Amino acid sequence: MNSLIKSYGKGLTALFVGLTVVWIAALIVLPQISMVDRAFTYEDRGGAAATLSLEIDRAYQEVFQISTSLDDLRAEKEALSSGGSAASQQESVSALDPFATPAPTPSQGVNMLDPFAAPSASGSSNRTAAQIEADEAPLIAKKSELEAKIVTLEAKEKASTDTVGLDTSYSLKNFTEMSSVHLQVFLSTMIYALCVTVMAFALCYPVAYAVATATSKNKIAILMLGLLIPYAINELLRIFAWVMILEKNGVLNAVLDMFGIIDLQVGEGFRFVASNGAVFTVMVYAYVLFMVFPIYNTIDTLDKNQIEAAKDLGASTFRIHWRVVLPHAKPGIAVGAIMTFMLSAGSIAVPEIVGRGLHPDWFSQVIYRRFFEADSWNQGAAYSLTLLLACVVFILFNMAVFRVGIRDIAK
Amino acid sequence: MRGNDVILENLSMRFGDFVAVQPTDLKINAGEFFSILGPSGCGKTTILRMISGFLSPSQGRVIIGDKDMSGIRANARPTALIFQNLALFPLMSVRDNIAFGLEARGIGKKARQDKAQELLSLVALDGHGDKLPTALSGGQRQRVAIARALAVEPSVLLLDEPLSALDLKLRQHMRAELKELQRKTGVTFIYITHDQGEALTMSDRVAVMNKGVVEQVANSDEIYANPATPFVASFVGEQNVFKGKVVAKENGYAILETPLGKMLGQNTQGLNQGDDAILFVRPERLSLQEKPGQQNSLSATLERRDLEGPFVNLHMRAGEHPIAIHITNVDQTHQSLGTEQKLWFAAQDAVVMRPGELASE
Ligand SMILES: Nc1ncnc2c1ncn2[C@@H]1O[C@H](COP(=O)(O)OP(=O)(O)OP(=O)(O)O)[C@@H](O)[C@H]1O
Ligand SMILES: [Mg+2]
């Protein structure tokens, strides 16, 4: 702090500190707090209450339908008793009806107006009053039965809103109520992310080693360019490029076709997309740079004489790496692993685009759906907090395994 | 441990168009302390790397103990290399560093530890085995590097300026230690340095290199007293250099006509009358004496006087020509500046050579 003041003066230092505090508060702490708050707030909206209100709505709808049918029957009955006047009345009804056919029969007109009318109402026009009453009786019975049901349901609903309702108390329910499907997705996502990390490491270590130990300056420049250029391209484009390659009628199948391994003409061809392999491949490609650079940086600081000294003392290539290069590169590997793991565990674009919904879900997709499709922000927050915790655990685990401190990682 | 002899046959190294080592033939004897001395960039390290197997020569071959090393990789050669920066493994304990070569050979833990202990005593580091190399002093690290190299019982130890990172006192101390270790172990040492003091004090024989060419191979006394080329003469020790033309020669001596008058010196290269020539006289061979009527008499003014302790360096000037004199700090050392002095050197202390490249130091 004092050194800051010394080198930048009081005003500028105050500005720095102020901006930093604002940044930390507004963009890191506040959103996190609200996220945590949501995660621990349990809102009972999906369960019993919702089912109840749905049932009540349905009952009301049915009651409405029945009463409409009853009205129709009653009208028919009146027409029968008042004779000829019924014809003109029915005509006026059909005139009102925009869907009326050019030569409507009276009953057809009624039918068009009321699609829910009981089938008996569409019978011949010369029905007797007794017949109509026979139709009426079961409907009336059903209606009263429904009305009784509504009363009990509403009572029940009232009771439940008083006790559970929109219970916004703090609880762990958002976490503990994770369904077994979601839990499975979470666990498999962790394993997938671990796989991606391991694959990225297996790919990056040799590359980083080769670049770091290359003697010719040109070679280093070319290798660096080769690594960097793909990352100048937008991530989505990079992912879509892979879709182009892996599509059923994509580049890879075309190449296989060219070599006569498959015949696209007769519809042969592998469906590479939407498989674990495809998602892994694209994800490794998408995040490989975050693994390469930390490892490259640490190996680059290794005194190359140590490699030669080990070789001179008779060490095999494996032993040179195991005893000299890897121990030195440990902080870089830890950083690379942490970054790759966190990025791939939280990746949503790759599983969404390459996975096509056919590949088993990534946990990030579940979180997205909780938020925006199931409209359950609290559960979404709880899930993302779970993911965050898993990543923190991974970081700590990494630091323990590689025996590196925060300080080494910061380097 | 036993040393092996090392033979370089027509060995040369080319990097693109640049020839780092000209074709060289050299025989280094078993159990010898052999130094390669030369200025920076003359190809010393390149030769060493060819012997150790990290570089394959463009031409020629290396033979160690009757065995042709062509195609044998570094980790399978009976050599061990000590790097200029030592290249200790910083994450391993001193003991593990020393035992690394044995570990690489699949030797069991117990045997490794015993051997490491033995070597720790050899280099007087008992009790430091569990420390990390960074916890040791420069000289101690130096000894760890030597112990680590000796652990694999090499028959040839290659040392690439191993003392250059140490301060002067320690360097002089380590010279004696290295020489003693070499004597104790009997391993052939090939020692690279650009420090003539190191080369002259420790070596049984010295090869002086310049621009990829080995100019002379001889023991230290021979190199100092009878340099074979102007480069060796001027690179090893200091010289007063006088350029001129041979005007006469008689029984092994030649008379040179120089801007400072006629001078007489040994004609080791058999120059003839009319040849261009250079005459070298060591500063300690010049004396502040007046020998009237004798050849090789000069007069010069004193410009600077540097007291080194046991001896005194006098910087004088004869006309435009700078002249250096070393005299022991016994008597007549309090010459006053600016006074004209008479100088003289004996003809057998001066060497006349064909003109050639001089060391630029
Ligand atoms: N791999 C290489 N590629 C090209 N030129 C090289 C290579 N290695 C060495 N050289 C050149 O060969 C020459 C000799 O190098 P070398 O390292 O043998 O010198 P040296 O005598 O050990 O010098 P120093 O005392 O500075 O270590 C130098 O001019 C150097 O630039
Ligand atoms: Mg060198």
CB contact under 8 A, B52 and A319: no
Within 8 A by CB and 6+ apart from A358, the residues are: A274
Rounded to the nearest angstrom, the distance between the alpha carbon of A103 and the centre of ligand 2 is 112
CB contact at 8 A, B281 and B235: no
pLDDT value at residue A237: 86
Most confident of A231-235, A258-262, A394-398: A394-398
pLDDT at position B333? 58
The pLDDT confidence band at residue A105, using thresholds 50, 70 and 90, is very low
- Note the pLDDT of residue A92: 44
Give the integer Cα–Cα distance in Å for B246 and A75.
Answer: 150
| Chain B, nearest residue to A327 by Cα | B91
Q: Is the pLDDT of residue A117 over 60?
A: no
Q: What does pLDDT average to in each consecutive run of 10 residues of chain B (361 residues)? A: 86 93 94 94 93 93 91 89 91 94 91 92 89 91 92 92 83 88 92 92 94 94 93 92 91 90 89 91 88 81 87 88 88 73 89 88 51
- Chain A residue whose CA is closest to B106: A315
Look at A312 and B104 and tell me if their CB atoms are within 8 Å: no
| B209 close contact with A: CB closer than 8 A | no
Q: Is A133 exposed, middle or buried (0-12, 13-18, 19+ CB in 10 A)?
A: exposed
pLDDT band of residue A113 (cuts 50, 70, 90) is: very low
Q: Which residue among B22, B35, B46, B235 has the greatest number of ligand 1 atoms within 8 angstroms of its CB, and so is best to mutate?
A: B46
Q: Are B189 and B162 in contact (CB under 8 A)?
A: no
3-state SS track over chain A: CHHHHHHHHHHHHHHHHHHHHHHHHHHHHHHHHHHHHHHHECCCCCCHHHHHHHHHHHHHHHHHHHHHHHHHHHHHHHHHHHCCHHHHHHHHHHHHCCCCCCCCCHHHHHHHHCCCCCHHHHCCCCCCHHHHHHHHHHHHHHHHHHHHHHHHHHHHHHHHHHHCCCCCCECCHHHHCCCHHHHHHHHHHHHHHHHHHHHHHHHHHHHHHHHHHCCCHHHHHHHHHHHHHHHHCCHHHHHHHHHHHHCCCCHHHHHHHHCCCCCHHHCCCCCCCCCHHHHHHHHHHHHHHHHHHHHHHHHHCCCHHHHHHHHHCCCCHHHHHHHHHHHHHHHHHHHHHHHHHHHHHCCCHHHHHHHCCCCCCCHHHHHHHHHHCCCCHHHHHHHHHHHHHHHHHHHHHHHHHHCCCHHHHHC
For ligand 1, pick from B42, B84, B196, B235 the residue to mutate: most ligand atoms within 8 Å of CB: B42
**Which of A116-125, A299-308, B347-356 has the weakest average pLDDT?**
A116-125
Alpha carbon of B51 to ligand 2 centroid (Å): 14
Question: Residue A308 and residue B83: Cβ atoms within 8 Å?
Answer: yes
Per-residue pLDDT tens for B270-299? 888 888 999 999 999 998 877 777 788 888
Q: Would you say the CB of residue B49 lies under 6 angstroms from ligand 1? A: no
N residues, chain B: 361
Q: What angle do CA A186, A192, A196 make, to 5 degrees?
A: 145
How far apart are the C-alpha atoms of B89 and B91, rounded to whole Å? Answer: 6
* CATH number assigned to the domain covering B238-353: 2.40.50.100
The pLDDT value given to residue B334: 65
**More confident position, A346 or B62:** B62
Q: Is the pLDDT of residue A129 over 60?
A: yes
Residue A178 has pLDDT above 60, yes or no: yes
- Residue A116 has a pLDDT of 47
Q: What is the mean pLDDT of residues A21-42?
A: 82
| B355 or A47: which leads in pLDDT | B355
pLDDT value for A377: 77
Give contacts of B103 with chain A, Cβ < 8 Å: 319, 323
- pLDDT of residue A108 exceeding 90, the answer is no
Contact B83 A319 (CB under 8 A): no
Strand order in the sheet with B59-64: B18-28, B6-15, B59-64, B67-68
CATH entry 3.30.390.10 includes domain A175-411: no
The interface residues of chain B toward chain A in range 235-254, judged by CB-CB distance below 8 A, are none
CA distance B255 to A78: 158
Mean pLDDT in residue range A7-18? 86
Interface test with B, best of A302, A312, A321, A326 (most B CBs within 10 A): A312
Rounded average pLDDT over A316-341: 92
Alpha carbons B192 and B180: distance in angstroms, whole number: 17
- For residue A102, the model assigns a pLDDT of 44
pLDDT at residue A106 tops 50: no
Q: Is B152 on the interface with A (CB under 8 A)?
A: yes
* Reported confidence tier of residue A94, pLDDT bands at 50, 70, 90: very low
What b/e sequence results for B167-189 when a residue is b if at least 16 CB atoms lie within 10 Å of its CB, and e otherwise? eeebbeebbebbbebbeebebbb
Instruction: Note whether B154 and B134 are within 8 A (CB).
Output: no
Q: How far is the CA of B59 from the centre of ligand 1 (A)?
A: 17
Residue A118 has pLDDT above 60, yes or no: no
Task: Provide the Cα torsion B308, B314, B315, B316; round to 10°.
Answer: 180
Q: Is B183 helix (H, G, I), strand (E, B) or coil?
A: helix
Q: Say whether B104 and A309 touch across the interface (CB within 8 A).
A: no
- Check if the beta carbon of residue B237 is closer than 8 Å to that of residue B282: yes
* Min Cα–Cα distance to chain A from B92, Å: 9
Token readout for A321 is 């790496």
B15 CB near ligand 1 (under 6 Å): yes
Please report the pLDDT score of residue A363 as a whole number.
Answer: 83
Taking the CA of residue A304 and the nearest CA in chain B, the distance in Å comes to 8
Query: Per the structure block, which two tokens stand in for B245?
Result: 């033309």
Which residue minimizes the CA distance to atom 18 of ligand 1?
A: B43
- Region A84-111: what's the mean pLDDT? 43
CB-CB under 8 Å, A305 with B104 = no
The per-residue pLDDT for B158 is 94
When pLDDT is cut at 50, 70 and 90, the band that residue A114 belongs to is: very low
The amino acid present at A81, given as its one-letter code, is S
User: Does position A246 have pLDDT exceeding 50, yes or no?
Assistant: yes
State which CATH number among 2.60.40.10, 3.40.50.720, 3.40.30.10, 3.40.50.300 fits the domain covering B6-231: 3.40.50.300
A contacts of B101 (beta carbons < 8 Å): 313-315
Residue pLDDT, tens place only, A187-242: 888 898 999 999 999 999 998 998 888 877 777 787 778 777 877 888 888 888 88
- Predicted confidence at residue A44, as pLDDT, reads 61
pLDDT at position B156:
94
Distance B74 CA to ligand 2 centre (A): 18
Sketch the domain layout of chain A as residue ranges. 1-39, 175-411
| Residue with the larger pLDDT of the pair A162 and A408 | A408
| Domain B6-231 shares a fold with domain B238-353 | no
Nearest chain A Cα distance for residue B110, angstroms: 19
Q: Taking the domains of chain B in order of start, what are their residue ranges? A: 6-231, 238-353
Q: What is the mean pLDDT of residues A28-38?
A: 81
In this complex, the residue of B83, B84, B152 whose CB is nearest that of residue A314 is B152
**What is the spatial distance between Cα B192 and Cα B207, in angstroms, rounded to a whole number?**
10
Between the alpha carbon of residue B69 and those of residues A255, B6, B54, B74, B350, the distances in Å are: 48, 10, 12, 10, 44
What amino acid is encoded at B80 in this protein?
Answer: A
C-alpha to C-alpha distance for B190 and B32, rounded to whole angstroms: 8
Q: What is the pTM of this model?
A: 0.71
Nearest CA among A149, A144, A124 for reference residue A56:
A149
Q: What pLDDT score was predicted for residue A258?
A: 80
What number is the average pLDDT over the span A366-390? 79
